Amino acid sequence: MANDADKDITNESSIDHWKMSWVENSIPFHLLEVHPSLGRHVDKLTKGRDNLTIFFPLCGKAVDMRWLAEKGHKVIGVEISDVAIKTFFKEANLEFTESDIKDGEGKLFMSKDENIKLFQCDMFKYKREFGGMVDAIWDRGALEAIDVDQREFYLKLMLSILKLDGVYLLHCFEFPDGAFETGPHEIKQNEIVEMFGPKCSVDKLEDYMLSQAQLEFHGIDQDTKIQGNVYRIVQK
């Protein structure tokens, strides 16, 4: 881990691209409602427990964060775009404070009640001491958004902040080549089992086909078959 932590695997051009997408409001991945799979499986994420700390890697301005905070949980998110973070608070009608994080790696934006902490920094520079250990991770549009060669580092980081009894829910897609113009990357079940390896058990909670309305929302050809999958990952 020490060697990994020293390694710089930031992809600057990808970061610039994402920041620009937010400035241009070109964010087709953003959902206006709570993600339906999270709605269906929230009890599996929390194991029915209250007052958890739930982590959102590459959080964007997902409304899921506000929804979980309103249920009494604490939320920690990491996002490279300050536009995304400020828009999140504005749309949620929440006042926030802004401060530098040590090591000059970025900024912390925090709701006044301190229940939502969003770190504006590169996920690959995020450190466990920023937000501490977490009870659960909701990964939608995160693992599938990063470069394939960043996955190993990313997953080590996720497992290093997830408490041993924590739950990692992963949403990802399977689809034919060329279905999406740019990202996400497809992630197949066997890849997930391989990635999480001997440390974790993986089980599939659901798969579903994107509806016509969802395809239309994402600007995807109506005949394309896109399957959404949700996996529950727990440490052995």
Q: Is 195 in contact with 174 (CB distance < 8 Å)? A: no
Longest Cα pair distance anywhere in the chain, in angstroms? 49
Q: Of 54, 59, 155, 195, which one interacts with ligand SAH (CB under 6 A)? A: 59
Question: Binding string to ligand SAH for residues 104 to 143, with x set by CB under 6 A, is what?
Answer: ------------------xxx---------------xxx-
**Least Å from the CB of residue 142 to ligand SAH:** 6
Q: Of 38, 45, 54, 58, which one interacts with ligand SAH (CB under 6 A)? A: 58
Whose tokens are 């620009």? That residue is: 20
Cα first-last separation, the chain: 19
Candidates 73-81, 174-182, 201-209, 222-230: pick the segment binding ligand SAH (CB under 6 A). 73-81
Candidates 44-52, 56-64, 88-96, 200-208: pick the segment binding ligand SAH (CB under 6 A). 56-64
53: Cα within 13 Å, side-chain hemisphere: 15
Q: Of 38, 79, 136, 192, which one interacts with ligand SAH (CB under 6 A)? A: 79
Burial class (CB in 10 A: 0-12, 13-18, 19+), 205: middle
- Check residue 144 for interaction with ligand SAH (CB under 6 A): no
> Cα separation of 121 and 81, whole Å?
8
- Check residue 52 for interaction with ligand SAH (CB under 6 A): no
